[in-house]
Chains A and B, each alone.
Chain A
């Protein structure tokens, strides 16, 4: 390839002539040797006439190796073609040009250089004008690397933004969209290109547009935000007009006078739907639970009624028998006064017994309040224990009550608490009926616990729970042949409804302890 090289020495000389005139004569070569840039002067045939010290030091070669075409070996082989092509362009245009190329360092590594070439015609007084090229190179390797790193980072972020499943959108301070990622197509139905230059309000339903405009304007003016910028749930509007729930987060970037806002918009239709379904399911469960609780209450009441009927039946039967027997003796004229007296005494005693039972039931029903009231826990325990007395006797269970005196009152629903206690005591009774080799003992205790709550415990010497202890509070889990598995689950919700806790522990050496707490009434004077 034929190259023409011009020297710029003449030009440089003429440029500095004024200075030389006024001061000491200056050897330009000395000046060039001192600058950190790599400088080389090439002739028209491409051979170097001169390379400065910086060039020599960088390439690690003495001047004699660089002069001629030797210097060209310092250019990276891949960059040579471009290097000389640019020179040709420079020649044709007659301007100095800039390019970039890799130059070999003494240790064999290549660094990127910014290269400036200037063509110049040199005219000696008595010779033909000749062309020279002055080549000045500046090491830009570090800048290049930084640039590459920055570009990589940018690319990385671009990739994240491009592939994000959420919409990423940028707008300027006039709320005009500057950037939109491809997710806008899927979520809003707009191509990113369609959105650039449009106001952000295009993505909002009518009623939000005014709000946004006013709120955003106020923010720009006062810095006061009209919505929370992190995870606010709003309504979006698709290109087809469909509105859907979105979650929006915004960030602001200020660069000198520029303000850029980047928003992340997530389509939460599915999440909302799932939430709705879950809410409905939860409501259904609550309804079912309430229904089951009601049923269980009825069942308990039914069992109670049967038990009461049996108790009332006993004295009634005795009264009937005694009266009928008297009538029969009388019919046979064989009723002796002392027999009659004894019979009447028994009749009176049984009548009294029957009315006592009725009075107890009436008290039980009357005390059932519609809402919570201040209750003496020991009183509630006493009522339930009285109801269960027959069951204890029937199953040969010895009951021991250990009730703390002067307990603070609790705020509660008497019937519900009776139900909980009844349930725990019935469970204890059932656990004890399987016991044949030791006394059947049941304890009912009340006391104040460490946190000042009222604690009630039902303890039995029954068969215990073993590995099933964890599961017994789960609805429909039962260890009983005929159990429904709701008793403890309902009891727990009733106790929790009173702000208390219900739990089970093992009793030593046999059986289980069911304990529950009830917060003492805050209005309590004690």
Chain B
């Protein structure tokens, strides 16, 4: 289902680039390197956890600008920054914008590899979560409009009786809608159904 994780390295210095690739590959990770932000952008993102090891000082565009550009394009790849001479404001800016780590050259190999691992893990988790939400959305869409309505009301804490009163139907009818909806949503319990509805709500709320 999900492919092998890939680490992307973007650095304009050929020897640093090649050595980074070599070092990260020693962990058994798949590495792809690029000499510029543009060539990285031309690579179609794989369906796998990824992270980006990015030099702050790039030819033309700075790494920090590139970070902002990725965010603007809604490309949510975790970034590990490396820099020749980082200062505090630069670090703060990068971290605030969601960077995983900000390493100053020459860095300890373990620090970089740890950061890469964390970045991949975070990307994997994010992808999993996104996938789960996508699944739930799929299931939710398979419900009839009345079933959707009923379980939304259930999740908000209303009793069957209250729902029946509000919808103008018999309480038994509500119970039938509810059990069918739970079945379609693959919910093992009432509590799980409520959690599912919460997860479905959160991305749409974030988007609004």
Measured CB to CB, the residues of A under 8 A from B are 306, 309-310, 313-322, 324-326, 328-329, 332, 343, 346, 349-350, 353, 393-394, 396
Contacts and interface: CB of A to CB of B under 8 A. Distances in A.
A320 B106 contact: yes
Given A310-B84, A318-B18, A322-B19, 20 more contacts: A306-B85, A313-B84, A314-B105, A317-B16, A318-B13, A318-B19, A319-B19, A320-B106, A320-B107, A321-B20, A321-B23, A324-B26, A324-B109, A325-B23, A325-B26, A325-B109, A326-B26, A329-B26, A349-B15, A396-B60
Interface residues of B, number: 21
Contacts of B175: none
B28 to A, nearest CB: 8
A145 to B, nearest CB: 93
A326 B27 CA distance: 11
B15 A350 contact: yes
A328 B26 contact: yes
A328 B27 contact: yes
Contacts of B82: 317
B60 to A, nearest CB: 6
B57 interface: yes
A346 B26 CA distance: 16
B85 A317 contact: no
B161 interface: no
Given A343-B22, A396-B59, A318 B16 contact: yes
Nearest to A349: B15
Contact of B19 (A309, A321, A394, A396): A321
Contacts of B109: 320-321, 324-325, 328
Given A394-B57, A396-B59, A396-B60, A322 B22 contact: yes
B25 interface: yes
Interface of A is mostly: helix
Contacts of B15: 314-315, 318, 346, 349-350, 353
Contacts of B26: 324-326, 328-329, 332
Given A314-B13, A317-B107, A325 B59 contact: no
B85 A310 contact: yes
Interface in B19-41: 19-20, 22-23, 25-27
A313, A319, A343 interface centre (most CB from chain B within 10 Å): A313
Interface string B105-145: 11101000000000000000000000000000000000000
B22 A321 contact: yes
A496 B165 CA distance: 96
Nearest to A331: B26
A313 B22 contact: no
A267 B79 CA distance: 79
Nearest to B103: A317
25 contacts: A313-B84, A314-B13, A314-B16, A314-B105, A315-B15, A317-B19, A317-B107, A318-B13, A319-B19, A320-B19, A321-B16, A321-B19, A321-B20, A321-B22, A322-B19, A324-B23, A325-B22, A325-B25, A328-B27, A328-B109, A343-B22, A346-B15, A346-B18, A346-B19, A396-B60
Nearest to B24: A325
A317 B19 CA distance: 8
A498 to B, nearest CB: 34
Interface string B46-76: 0000000000010110000000000000000
